[in-house]
Chain A
Amino acid sequence: MPPAGKKPTLPPAGKKPAGLPGRKPAGPGGGKKPSLPMGAGGDGAPAGLTRKDFATDQDVRWCPGCGDYAILATMQRLMPELGVPREKTVFVSGIGCSSRFPYYMNTYGLHSIHGRAPAIATGLKASRPDLDVWIVTGDGDALSIGGNHLIHLLRRNVNVQLLLFNNQIYGLTKGQYSPTSEQGKVTKSTPYGSVDHPFFPVPLALGADATFVARTMDRDPKHMQAMMRRAHDHQGAAFLEIYQNCNIFNDGAFFEFTERNTKAHSAIFLEHGKPLVYDNGQRGLRLKSFALESIDLSTGKWSVDDCLVYDEGSIELANIVSRMSWQKDLPRPFGVFFREDRPSYDELVQRQIDDVTVRRGEGDLAALLNAGNTWEI
């Protein structure tokens, strides 16, 4: 027999190819300085951290003018206020422009695969309930390829925050329509207009039995930060849809709701215990049978007392108000649609393990191996 074939030569351990990694490579993204852990760290005390401590040394690579910048800035500003140590915070994302987010947060992070962030985050949070887990996803990522994982994350009520950057377009793949794009949308993949019926993420989340459902917009940092904070405060899966402008492939998709000249009469901000009033107090919403009606508060016919008082604990109201998005004559709602308390998945998993362990005692490997009928030879 001939001698065995020679093993292919492989790079020796630790030896770097010429010019690596010190040399500045030409391609985009290469040669970045290693990320330096900033701030005090060590004792885990977040005290004294600032917005800057949550930024990484990586260049942010979204298109100039992209709504993602505002979301990132808001998050970095919020972080020090939440009081969670940096090392306890994890951002998990899928794939898409939006999903680059973790690279820019100086926390732990995992930029995973398209659509799967909710699944990965479920495993992370179920095994490490002590971590503060945020999911960042896009409308294609969360609702198209990852739709399945999204609904199951919500129904299980995994204690994480999920931020859905909805730009009603596939940004990273250069502008195809998404599951939230309006019917008739002309894109590269739909030159004659899309015939797909879109859905709205909020009713979908409610349908999946989410325990916290809210919507905000990239152009209103104050509201956005308030919503992020509320999402964070919620024990359980918090679903936050963020209207995000993709100025390259879907510019102005939400301008009607976000820009100063139209915002007042196109957007309404839900507040628990407060009447549904908008258009600078000129208009309100009242419940007429199972539908909502916009009423004019300026003529004297109607007053604020006629307006529906919002109750974020009511799934019925949440369902009605979330469906409003389809009605052209009604304003688009923002704020917390729904919130309820339900034990979280990660909590239940741990509780069950603790219960079984109390009942059966800590597992004993030798006993397990020797269980059942045994015999000596």
Chain B
Amino acid sequence: MAVKTQEKTVREIPEATILFAGDSGDGMQLAGGQFTLASAYARNDLATLPDFPAEIRAPAGTTYGVSGFQLHFGSVNVRTPGDEVDVLVAMNPAALKVSLDRVRKGGTLIVNADAFGKRDLDLAGYNQNPLEDDSLKAYRVVRIPLAKLTHETLSDADLDKKTMDRCKNMFALGLALWMYSMPIEPALEWLSSKFARKPDILEANRRVLKKGNHYGETVEEFAVRYEVRPAKLKPGKYRAILGTEALAMGLIAASRKCGLPIFYGSYPITPASEILHELSRHKNFGVKTFQAEDEIAAAGAALGASFGGYLGVTATSGPGLALKSETVALAVMAELPLVIVNMQRGGPSTGLPTKTEQADLLQALFGRNGEAPLPVIAPGTPGDCFYAAFEACRIAIRYMTPVILLSDGYLGTGSEPWLIPNADDLEDFTPSFATAPNRTVDGKDVFLPYVRDEKTLARPWAKPGTAGLEHRLGGLEKEHETGNVSYEPENHEYMVKLRAEKVERVAQDIPPLEVFGAQEGDLLVVGWGSTQGAIETAVDACVARGLRVGAVHLRHLAPLPNDLGKILSRYEYALAPELNNGQLVRLLRERFLLPVASLRKIKGLPFKAREIEKEICDMLGISIA
């Protein structure tokens, strides 16, 4: 290999997408995470898509053991993890095979040439070595003997082969950082804290990282390196944030702003467990976390805590929501606040545990026995999980109702630069607990637990421990105002409608919808949840094509915002893209009696902006290549 030192050209580019792919044990999530940090340091806008197998240690070298981390970064607005990959780092043939179709033609493949032996190829299902035939001729292929170079770097270190081997992700990371002129310091710092107690491992990783970084400088294959300038983000103080982290902080912020400590009940399930892990670290905020025996107990305990005057929160994914539904219905009947977080994942049943989907919307809205409406809200980006969690708590307490927060796997594991909110600017929503009787009956002052607030229709919240307000709640139908058990037909119908009306009243708190793109015209895209970035990117592209396309993104799925109908009426067509088999679209058609079109993707993966753009253009009769 010709190695010579030379000055390299640096070319400025607006954005790029890189994908680290390898075996589950190759440390790709780590490499991706550290690249993200460096990109954040470089002040880029960014979005990430970690994509890992459900098996913890799938057989090495197989396609189903491939773990990937995709990152889209730019000096321009970045709203999705990237439709097409510019640089793929493939640690083995399986990773190459699984990821190749994401790479744009002309893109760069950096392959670990040491991992293309006969056995590796067999495991990945290649009959021929793709590095040796011309199947990759549409790409620029850079073969690097990653394992060999790593071992060489560490030849004088007193480490076993396996330990050395595990450092090779640092080589790849170092090289990738060099390619995009990213700082290496954040990764070095991170290593120092991670391996503070294992100095020899720390030293090995540092050396390999630097070696990889230096490698780009010295080999001929890399004639140019790229640079992505800082993005023009809104001024302020930023940090990189993961969706689950944002969500957990949103709950803590809400707890502070309502003055109630959090009781968080949860049973481990991917990808919701991360919230449990995160909250459990913050006990000094008075957070009580409870790893329950199952989801039913998790929800039950959270509801018990709400009854006691706490901010009761429970979180789950997929099948866990089904288990919680009976408790949620009790919360509807007892009219107690409860926040239920559902990190949606591919279903039904165990489905695709590590993949994303938006298929629990109708379950969230209707998945309980009887008439049991409740507010449903959804965040649109990883950072938005903070605000959505905050809002869910606020509504739950203000309206004395369970609220379902629909996040998803993509939002949970995705990250982005986050404009840090000022803690003092967040709304205070301290509840006023009942302290005294609220009625006089037959000359006696009494407390009736189901007398309602005129504006919100919320009933009073009287905590156990408050003398004179002793009362009984339960799942049996309540008599209006007294809260006594009632089987009376008129009362039941009245109460069913009253509970529904209470949920509808939440709409009075929903701020006017913001329309992205054209404010009126040809087509309105209506989205919810994690598709926001892809939708806005697509709408941007359509507007650039001269199309009059706009988008609204729904934070509130129940009740729907009051102004949605008016906005819909300003466009010729409407389109609802969803990662499911058409759920929001049913609500829109039913509510507005409009022929809203539906774009469905159910592959466990987020939308590419391009897919939405194409659909919009198709609908408007414009052909795009």
Q: Which residues on A are within 8 Å of B, measured CB to CB? A: 1-5, 7, 10-11, 13-14, 16-21, 25-37, 41-44, 56, 58, 85-88, 90, 92, 95, 102-103, 105-113, 116, 118-128, 130-131, 148-149, 152, 349, 352-353, 356-357, 359-363, 365-366, 368-377
Contacts and interface: CB of A to CB of B under 8 A. Distances in A.
A265 B591 CA distance: 72
Given A13-B454, A109-B471, A363-B284, 19 more contacts: A1-B568, A19-B490, A25-B491, A30-B488, A32-B485, A37-B447, A41-B468, A111-B472, A112-B300, A112-B475, A116-B327, A119-B297, A122-B300, A126-B290, A127-B304, A127-B308, A128-B310, A370-B239, A377-B236
Contacts of B591: 4-5
Most buried by B among A31, A124, A128, A131: A124
Contacts of B230: 377
Interface string B415-439: 0000011111000000000000101
A11 B263 CA distance: 34
20 contacts: A4-B565, A16-B494, A18-B490, A20-B490, A25-B486, A26-B488, A29-B484, A37-B468, A43-B467, A58-B484, A58-B485, A123-B300, A123-B303, A123-B308, A125-B304, A128-B465, A149-B296, A363-B285, A365-B423, A377-B236
A370 B240 CA distance: 11
B312 A123 contact: yes
Interface string B460-490: 0000111111111111100111111111111
Most buried by B among A20, A105, A131, A377: A377
B472 A109 contact: yes
A120 B304 contact: yes
B452 interface: yes
A88 B310 CA distance: 16
Contacts of A86: 467, 470
Given A86-B470, A375-B237, A365 B43 contact: no
B239 A21 contact: no
Interface string B256-300: 100001010100000000000000001111111010111011101
Contacts of A124: 304-305, 307-308, 464
B498 A11 contact: yes
B433 to A, nearest CB: 13
Contacts of B284: 353, 356-357, 359-363
A-B CB proximity, top 5 nearest: A4-B565, A123-B301, A111-B474, A123-B304, A363-B285
A17 B297 CA distance: 37
Nearest to A125: B304
B313 to A, nearest CB: 11
Contacts of B300: 112-113, 116, 119-120, 122-123, 149
A357 B283 contact: yes
Contacts of B486: 25, 27, 29-32
A113 B475 contact: yes
Contacts of B593: 2, 4-5
B484 A32 contact: yes
B514 interface: no
B41 A111 contact: no
A36 B468 CA distance: 9
A349 B288 contact: yes
A123 B265 contact: yes
A78 to B, nearest CB: 17
A109 B486 CA distance: 17
B249 interface: yes
Given A87-B464, A103-B472, A111-B472, A13 B457 contact: yes
Nearest to B437: A37
B142 interface: no
Given A4-B568, A37-B469, A11 B490 contact: no
B352 to A, nearest CB: 27
A30 B487 contact: yes
B75 to A, nearest CB: 12
Contact of A369 (B420, B454, B471): B420
A365 B305 contact: no
Given A5-B591, A108-B471, A365 B487 contact: no
Contacts of A26: 488
Interface string B321-359: 000001100100010000000000000000000000000
A32 B484 CA distance: 7
Contacts of A370: 237, 239, 420
Contacts of A102: 472, 474
**A interface: dominant SS:** loop
B111 interface: no
Given A25-B486, A109-B472, A373-B40, A122 B283 contact: no
A345 to B, nearest CB: 9
Contacts of B298: 119
Nearest to A103: B472
Nearest to A106: B470
Given A36-B446, A37-B447, A110-B472, A1 B594 contact: yes
Nearest to B487: A27
A119 B298 CA distance: 7
Contacts of A107: 470
A21 B240 contact: no
Interface in B549-572: 564-566, 568-569, 571-572
B308 A131 contact: yes
B453 to A, nearest CB: 9
Interface string B220-244: 0000000000100111111110000
Nearest to A17: B494
Contacts of B302: 123
A113 to B, nearest CB: 5
A353 B286 contact: yes
Contact of A148 (B293, B309, B455, B501): B293
Contacts of B326: 113, 116
Contacts of B454: 13-14
A212 B421 CA distance: 50
B474 A110 contact: yes
A27 B256 CA distance: 45
Contacts of B290: 122-123, 126, 349
B393 to A, nearest CB: 14
B468 A42 contact: yes
Contacts of A125: 304
A98 to B, nearest CB: 14
A119 B261 CA distance: 19
B330 A127 contact: no
B182 interface: no
B198 interface: no
A5 B565 contact: yes
B241 to A, nearest CB: 9
B423 A37 contact: no
B4 interface: no
Contact of A103 (B261, B301, B485, B493): B485
B473 A109 contact: yes
B186 interface: yes
A77 to B, nearest CB: 18
Given A2-B594, A111-B475, A149-B297, A35 B420 contact: no
Contact of B484 (A35, A131, A349, A356): A35
B467 A87 contact: yes
Contact of B296 (A32, A36, A95, A119): A119
A349 B305 CA distance: 14
Nearest to A104: B472
B373 to A, nearest CB: 11
Given A16-B480, A30-B488, A127 B261 contact: yes
A128 B309 contact: yes
A43 B420 CA distance: 46
B464 A103 contact: no
A86 B470 CA distance: 8
Contacts of A361: 284
B261 to A, nearest CB: 7
A353 B476 contact: no
A25 B474 CA distance: 20
